[in-house]
Amino acid sequence: MSANSVYLAYLVAAVLFILTLKGLSSPISSRRGNMFGMVGMAIAVLTTLSLTHNVVYILLAIAVGGTIGAIIARRIEMTAMPELVAAMHSLVGLAAVLVAMAAFNNPVAYGIALPGEALHSSNRIELFIGTFVGAITFTGSIIAFGKLSGKLSGKPLRFAGQHWLNLLLGIVMLGFGIAFFMSPSWTPFLIMTAIALVLGVLLIMPIGGADMPVVVSMLNSYSGWAAAGIGFTLNNNMLIIAGSLVGSSGAILSYIMCKAMNRAFFNVILGGFGGEAAADATGDGVQKTYRSGSADDAAFLMSNADSVIIVPGYGLAVARAQHAINEMSNALTDKGVKVRYAIHPVAGRMPGHMNVLLAEAEVPYEQVVEMEEINNEFADTDVVLVIGANDVVNPAAKNDKSSPIYGMPILDVYKARTVLVVKRSMATGYAGLDNDLFYMDKTMMVFGDAKKVVEDIIKAID
C-alpha cells in the first residue's frame, strides 16, 4: 500500500474507534458501537499486515491467540468477567514490556536507529515510559485478577512505611531510567523493569475490595497508555491513537467511578478501603434484630404493589439469576405492577457489570435506570427488592461519619415503603461493613440462593 493509502486507512479506523466509544455510552447503541470497533480493528490489522514481510509468522500468532481467546470467551461466565478484563489488561502490559525489550535488543530492525548509531534520546524516553507503565500494568493487573477471582484476599495488605517504600522504589526506578537515558545498556534497563514489576504489586495489594471497580478502570487506562507506548516504539500511528483513546477513556471512567464513590483518586491509589474490620451484628454489644420472611411473602408484597424497584448486585451475578429476575419482572408487569431496575455506578466488580448482565437477560433498556435518575423516586415506591447488593445501599454512607464509606453516593433504598433483601446470610459485603438497612422495621430478609429465591417468587406470583 502507498503511504497515503495507509494514512487514509488508519484515519478511517481511528474514526471508527471514536464512534465505538460513543456507541458504548448507551446500552441501546452498544451493539452498534462494538461493530464499529470490530470493523475498525480489522482495517487497522489488515493495513498493518500490508506493511510487513513476516505475514506468515504474524498470522500464525493471531491464529493461536485468537483460538485461545475464542475458547475463553465461550467458556467464561458473566460473573468472571471482571477478572477476565483484569487478565486481559495484564497481557497488554506484558506486550508493552516485551516489545520494548525487543526494540532495545534490535533497534535497527524496529527502525528506531540506523546501523552503528545509538538510540535517539526521544526513543530512550519512549522505551523508558512504555516499559515501566507496561510492567506496572502487568503485575498490578495480575494482583487485581487474584483479588477479583477470590484467589487472593480482597482485604488490603498494609504494612508500616509502605508509602515511603513505594516512593523510594519510584525514585530508584526513575534514577535507573535516567541512567538508561544517559547511557543505554541492559543493566539499568532490566533493573528499572524489575522495580516497576514490584511496584505494580505493591500499588494494588493495599487496595481493598470496595475500590476494585476503580482499580479495574484505572488498569484499563494504564493498558491504553502502555499500548500507546508500543505505538511509539513501533512507529505505528494507529496504535498510538488507539492506545490514547483507551488510556484517556479509562482515566475519565476512573474519575467517574471515584466521584460515584466519593473517593479521591489518590486516596484509592494510596490504600483504599475494603478491608477494615467489619462491624459485627452486635453493634455496641447489643444484638441487633432483623425480620425474615419467605419467597411467598415477597411475592405477595410485590404482587400487591403499584411500583417495584429492583436493585441488582454481585450476588445476582454469582447466582446467575439475571434471566430469572427478568422472568419475575415480566410476571409482575403482567399484573399491572410498574417494575424498574436501579443501577449504581459501581454495582458489581467492574464498571457496567450489572448493565451487561441485564442486557444478557434481555431486560428492556427502558426499565434500567441509573442512580441519579431514580434516587428521587424511592420515597414513592411501594417495594424495593435488593438482590445481591450490599454496600451500594448502605445508609451508613449518609448518616455515619465514622464509616469508611461515609459520603459515598448510594441508592436511597431506605426511603421506600417496604424493602426486601435477598441474601444467603447476614454476612457483610465486599467492603466488609455491616448494613443498618437490614435491621430496619420496613426491611424483610429473604435468605437463600438468589436464583432459587426468585424462581420460588415466580411460582408464588403465578
Residue 201 CA from chain centroid, whole number: 18
Model pLDDT, residue 321: 92
Share of the chain above pLDDT 90, in %: 54
Q: How buried is residue 403: exposed, middle or buried, by Cβ count under 10 Å (0-12/13-18/19+)?
A: buried
* Start-to-end C-alpha separation, the chain: 65
Mark whether 247 and 306 lie in a shared domain.
no
Mark whether 231 and 299 lie in a shared domain.
no
Residues 6 or more apart in contact with residue 432 via CB below 8 angstroms: 155, 208, 209, 210, 274, 275, 276, 277, 278
What would the 3-class secondary structure string for the chain be? CCHHHHHHHHHHHHHHHHHHHHHCCCCCCHHHHHHHHHHHHHHHHHHHHCCCCCHHHHHHHHHHHHHHHHHHHHHCCHHHHHHHHHHHHHHHHHHHHHHHHHHHHCCCCCCCCCCCCCCCHHHHHHHHHHHHHHHHHHHHHHHHHHHHHCCCCCCCCCCCCHHHHHHHHHHHHHHHHHHHHHCCCHHHHHHHHHHHHHHHHHHHCCCCHHHHHHHHHHHHHHHHHHHHHHHHHHCCHHHHHHHHHHHHHHHHHHHHHHHHCCCCHHHHHCCCCCCCCCCCCCCCCCCCCCCECCHHHHHHHHHCCCEEEEEECHHHHHHCCHHHHHHHHHHHHHCCCEEEEEECCCCCCCCCHHHHHHHHCCCCHHHEEEHHHHHHHHHHCCEEEEECCCHHHCCHHHHCCCCCCCCCCCCCHHHCCEEEEEECCCCCCCCCCCCHHHHCCCEEEEECCHHHHHHHHHHHHC
Instruction: Answer for the pair 418, 425: CB distance below 8 angstroms, yes or no.
Output: no
Mark whether 199 and 307 lie in a shared domain.
no
What would the grid cell of residue 237 be? 500511528
Which whole number is the average pLDDT over 8-22? 94
Model pLDDT, residue 279: 40
pLDDT in tens, 304-342: 999 999 999 988 988 889 999 999 999 999 999 999 999
In a domain, 317, yes or no: yes
CATH code, 427 = 3.40.50.1220
In a domain, 276, yes or no: no
In a domain, 49, yes or no: no
Tell me: pLDDT of 278 over 50. Answer: no
Q: Which domain holds residue 154?
A: 76-269
Mark whether 169 and 120 lie in a shared domain.
yes
In a domain, 284, yes or no: no
How far apart CA 19 and CA 41 sit, in angstroms, is 12
In a domain, 252, yes or no: yes
Q: Which residue has the cell 447489643?
A: 286
Domain count, the chain: 2
Active-site pick, 211, 306, 382, 391: 391
Which whole number is the average pLDDT over 149-153? 81
Which whole number is the average pLDDT over 290-300? 95
Mean pLDDT estimate for the chain: 88
pLDDT in tens, 62-81: 999 999 999 998 888 777 78
Mark whether 126 and 240 lie in a shared domain.
yes
What would the grid cell of residue 83 be? 477478572
Q: Which of 253, 269, 285 is the last residue of a domain?
A: 269
Mark whether 259 and 161 lie in a shared domain.
yes
In a domain, 285, yes or no: no
Mark whether 232 and 361 lie in a shared domain.
no
- Position with higher pLDDT, 39 vs 120: 39
Which whole number is the average pLDDT over 427-441? 82
Residue 384, CA distances (Å) to 183, 301, 311, 320, 421 in order: 65, 10, 7, 20, 8
Which whole number is the average pLDDT over 141-157? 84
Model pLDDT, residue 355: 86
Q: Is 391 a catalytic residue?
A: yes
Q: Which of 251, 269, 287 is the last residue of a domain?
A: 269
pLDDT band at 286 (very low <50, low <70, confident <90, very high): low
Question: What is the amino acid identity at position 117?
Answer: E
pLDDT band at 210 (very low <50, low <70, confident <90, very high): low
Which whole number is the average pLDDT over 35-52? 92
pLDDT in tens, 368-418: 999 989 999 999 999 999 998 888 899 998 888 888 778 888 999 999 999
Mark whether 353 and 421 lie in a shared domain.
yes
Mark whether 427 and 338 lie in a shared domain.
yes
Q: Which of 204, 235, 269 is the last residue of a domain?
A: 269
Altogether, the residues listed in the chain come to a count of 462
